[in-house]
Amino acid sequence: MENLQVFQVCPSIPEPVRFLDYLSKNLWWCWNHDAIELFRRINPVQWEANQRNPVAFLASISQRRFEAFARDDGFIGHMEQVKARFEAMFSFAPGFEKLEVGSTQTIAYFSMEFGIHESLPLFAGGLGVLAGDHLKASSSLGLPLTGVGLLFRGGYFSQVFDLEGWQQERYPEIDIFDLPVQRALDSQGNEVCVTVESPHGTIKAQVWQLKVGRLRLLLLDTNLVENSPFIRDITARLYTSNLETRVAQEVLLGIGGMRALERLDIFPSVIHMNEGHCAFAGLERIVQIMKKFHVNMDAAFETCKRTSVFTTHTPVAAGHDEFPPSLVLPYVRSFARKFNITEVDLLGWGQMNHGDQNNGFFYMCVLGINLSGYLNGVSRLHGTVARKMWTGIWPGRPVDEVPITHITNGVHILSYISQQKAALFERYLTSDWAGINCTPEMVQRIDNIDDEDLWHVHGIDRSRLIRLCRKVMFEKYSRRNAPRDVLDAVSSVLDHNVLTICFARRFATYKRADLLLMDPERLEAMINSTTRPIQIVFAGKAHPNDNEGKQIIQRIMNFAKRDKVRHRVVFLEDYDINIARYMVQGADVWLNTPRRPNEACGTSGIKAAVNGSLNLSILDGWWCEGYTAQRGWAIGDNCDYKDTAYQDSVESQALYNLLENEVIPCFYDRKRGNPPQRWVQMMKESIKMALGEFSSNRMVREYTNRFYIPAACNMARLTADNAGGAIELARGRQRLKTLWKNLRVMKPSMPPDTGFKVGDTFTLSTTVFLGDLTPEDVEVQIYFGRLKSLDRLDGGRTKTMTLKAESGKNIYLYTCELNCSDAGRFGYTARVIPQGDEILKTTPGLMTWAK
């Protein structure tokens, strides 16, 4: 059928309960238990049937039922309470004095995925959930931030299995009218569309907005009749394997996203690019800065760099987008023209071998890094790994000086805490226990919770998880018309009092979901112990093209079918935020077995810890920072291995030993039928750790204080007075770039080594030829440290040298004093870097070592 006309009938919600409609259109409800319960009580069965999507849910409620609730005092009372809290959120004044960002300059947060709630199919996994948590926390903190993403109508995929346990993918399409989105309107009240040129024709995208508490998330959608099928499908699915579509998605997200902001009169002071997918945003941002301040590309580039944040999320090479330059060029060609640079130079911004004319891949991460001055990984260990990974961008720079820092991820507590536990914490801590005013003293009050109460409440959460498993299994087997006795068996799977281990994550091979199955007989013995059994719940998806990942799932499925274990091992299909919530809330032990150091952070372990589930994990990602013997268990140690098979065998042994000797005995240690005392103490330590150190409030505060505030200040400073600062900076850098190559530093010299003693001080000196540069342009440094090998230092340190004399012909003498503070063998050399702000100092290529 063509030329279909459409009309929609919305429920006419009676005035007294009309707030429900308003509430359903702000995602705030999804992290407020009271609000969730308000919807649910209207019709709990229907609520689940609509997958907890309040827009679809309200549309399915009969007029009669609404009218009944409009007369129900109890319901109205409940609703008024929720309404009061909802309104209070908007009146709260933000607490970032130094962040002078108006509503038209908000921080723009770009991400390919946003995992806010399971009813919005905009995410695939951890990256999206983190972005969702970032928005939620930013709203609570009153941060002026706007999200930018794509509106995927098919989401990632939904997971089902065939009878052989092989993963199949389905792509149910969501109806946009079931989503809480509205068309974004410009200042004249017109619907906003943006266009981006592409080799497939002009991409036109409608801009939608989604309210997330106090914030807006803008979502671009190409599913318009005037677009060609290829273009309409740009926003069909997340992470398709079609490279053409992926480039188009990333172009739309970055360039289209910046244009959407512009059409809404938002000129962001700061942009945050969450992973490489959105790095094209920097290109369009440079264009917008050029237009707004009438400056050339160089000045705009310097401004963009000093006001942009880039976060990298994975140490796994396959997780980084790389495209053949020929695929990228047709989209970015026009930027080369606007910037007045060659296409080769522009592509070089995304290449490792900058300036080299060969066909090196175009890396989205490299582009993001080159366009941003604030760079980070997502845990301490991941920061180290990222510095190593991208060290090639800064030739000559020691790896520990690569300017990528880390901000460890946090989780949005209220989105993942169980309702029962939240009520318990509220009773002992304060009503704002998960809010922005939560202090370390408050967190300490977790210790005051009665052991019996915490254990009891956790038992309820474990039982809820078990009931979910039974329901899902029953539905799965009913679909296959399984015989009655099988249905009875699956409806009684798992046991309410058995130690429950959960493993839920993407089935990428490095995550080693099957580490626990390395010795199936030993595992089977643990599962079937008569006195101290264990049970296991697995969940997770493999990427549609990842056959190895699918094989791992199949092995688990096959193991779970064994007669002796089938009542105690479950694989929950179609892992999503809903299943994640049940699992992190009900698990006794949260298992994580990545091959170190491949797990960038691993936030699900934090969600579990919030709920008092104890982590049993490889020392990787966040657990390196979180682990202490009081909070959980570390499998293996800080070792890095070369031989992966050997590593797997060592670490699986370590895992079995830990389970048999520590975890299981600790859980079943019940004196006189009391809760396991040490276990409950560990639960409390875990909860305190998560609340105190790993909340998304802490994370967003850290981004704000370390990145957003300095970046926003840079924007104000550089663009003041007709962007005089930016122009000056660009001129300075151009000068450095052209004159740097003539610079030479001689090997520094010191007095003859007469045998120094600790405490001695001596003078080092070196000669520097600056060419046409001046001493004001540069900083000359001594680089020294303990010798590791003949040509390597163990953690080099620097000391700035001072200009001592000028000997004409642009030759200068620099000296500095060095104090022998420790005994040992030391090495030293000299180097020159630019003088200026941190970003200028770390300009790739501008570091010259003594020769």
SS3 category, 147: strand
CB of 604 to ligand PLP, least distance (A): 3
Residue 317 CA to chain centroid, in angstroms?
17
Which is nearer to ligand PLP, 581 or 831 (by Cβ)?
581
CB of 214 to ligand PLP, least distance (A): 23
CA 528 to chain centre: 38
CB of 510 to ligand PLP, least distance (A): 12
Minimum distance, C-beta of residue 426 to ligand PLP, in the bound complex (Å): 23
Peptide bond before residue 597 is cis, with ω within 30 degrees of 0:
yes
Nearer to ligand PLP, 519 or 693 (CB): 693
What number of other Cβ atoms are within 10 A of residue 774's Cβ? Answer: 13
CB of 464 to ligand PLP, least distance (A): 16
State the nearest-atom distance from the C-beta of 621 to ligand PLP, in Å: 8
Burial of 140 (0-12, 13-18, 19+ CB in 10 A): buried
Minimum distance between the CB of residue 694 and ligand PLP, rounded to whole angstroms?
Answer: 12
* Cβ 511 to ligand PLP shortest distance, Å: 8
How far is residue 768's CA from residue 814's CA, in Å, rounded to a whole number? Answer: 7
| Closest to 57 (Cα-Cα) out of 32, 112, 20 | 20
Smallest gap from residue 123 Cβ to ligand PLP (A): 8
Q: How far apart are CA 124 and CA 112, in angstroms?
A: 10
**How crowded is residue 115: how many other Cβ atoms within 10 Å of its Cβ?**
25
Least distance CB 170 / ligand PLP (angstroms): 17
Which one, 577 or 614, has the nearer CB to ligand PLP? Answer: 577
Between 310 and 503, CB nearer to ligand PLP: 503
The tokens describing 5, both together, are 């006309």
CA of 346: how far to CAs of 310, 332, 350, 738, in Å? 19, 8, 8, 18
Of the candidates 412, 459, 450, 405, the residue with the CA atom closest to the CA atom of residue 428: 450
Shorter beta-carbon distance to ligand PLP: residue 115 or 360: 115
State which residue, 416 or 783, has the beta carbon closest to ligand PLP: 416
Q: How far is the CB of 486 from ligand PLP (least distance, A)?
A: 29
Smaller CB separation from ligand PLP, 129 or 375: 129
Q: Closer CB to ligand PLP, residue 129 or residue 413? A: 129
Q: CA 489, CA 466: separation in Å to the nearest integer?
A: 14
Say whether 495 sits in a helix, a strand or coil: coil
Identity of the residue, 159 or 351, whose beta carbon is nearer to ligand PLP in the bound complex: 159
Nearest to ligand PLP of 593, 767 (CB atom): 593
In Å, the largest CA–CA distance within the chain is 97
- Residue 620 identity (one-letter amino acid): D
Measured torsion, CA atoms of residues 88, 89, 94, 100, in degrees rounded to the nearest 10: -120
Instruction: For the CB of residue 577, give the shortest distance to ligand PLP in the complex, in Å.
Output: 5
CB of 747 to ligand PLP, least distance (A): 48
Cβ at position 286, least distance to ligand PLP in Å: 33
Q: Three-state SS for 670?
A: coil
Cβ distance to ligand PLP smaller for residue 606 or 830: 606
Q: Tell me the C-alpha distance between 131 and 410, whole Å.
A: 11
Q: Which residues of 514-534 are buried (b: 16+ CB within 10 A; e: fewer)?
A: bbbbbeeeebbebbeeeeebb
CA angle at residue 604 from 603 to 608, to 5 degrees?
A: 120
Q: Which is nearer to ligand PLP, 285 or 512 (CB)?
A: 512
Q: Which residues of 169-197 are buried (b: 16+ CB within 10 A; e: fewer)?
A: eeeeebeeebbbbeebeeeeeeebbbebe
Shortest Cβ distance from residue 422 to ligand PLP (Å)?
A: 17
Q: Name the residue among 365, 151, 149 with its Cα closest to residue 261.
A: 149
In angstroms, the CA 32 to CA 29 distance is 5
Q: Report the residue number, 298 or 514, with the smaller CB distance to ligand PLP.
A: 514
Query: For ligand PLP, which is the closer residue by CB, 407 or 580?
Result: 580
Decide whether 577 or 709 has the Cβ nearer to ligand PLP.
577
Cα 497 to Cα 667: distance, rounded to the nearest angstrom: 11
- Residue 501 CA, chain-centre distance (Å), reads 25
Q: DSSP string of 738-786?
A: HHGGG-EEPPPB-S------TT-EEEEEEEEE-TT--GGGEEEEEEEEE
**Partners of 186 in the β-ladder:** none
Contacts of 784 (CB under 8 A, 6+ apart): 793, 796, 797, 798, 799, 818, 826, 827, 828, 829
Collapsing DSSP to helix, strand or coil, 590 comes out as strand
Contacts 24+ apart (CB under 8 A), 552-558: 552/507, 552/509, 552/513, 552/514, 553/161, 553/165, 553/167, 553/507, 553/513, 554/164, 554/165, 554/166, 554/167, 555/514, 555/517, 556/165, 556/513, 556/514, 556/517, 557/161, 557/165, 558/165
203 versus 539: smaller Cβ distance to ligand PLP = 539
Between 206 and 593, name the residue whose CB sits nearer to ligand PLP: 593
**CA-closest candidate to residue 167, choices 569, 546, 594:** 546
Q: Residue 522 Cβ, how far from ligand PLP at the closest point, in Å?
A: 26
The binding site for ligand PLP (CB under 6 A) comprises 125-126, 129, 505, 575-577, 580, 602-605, 607
Nearest distance from residue 175's CB to ligand PLP, in Å? 22
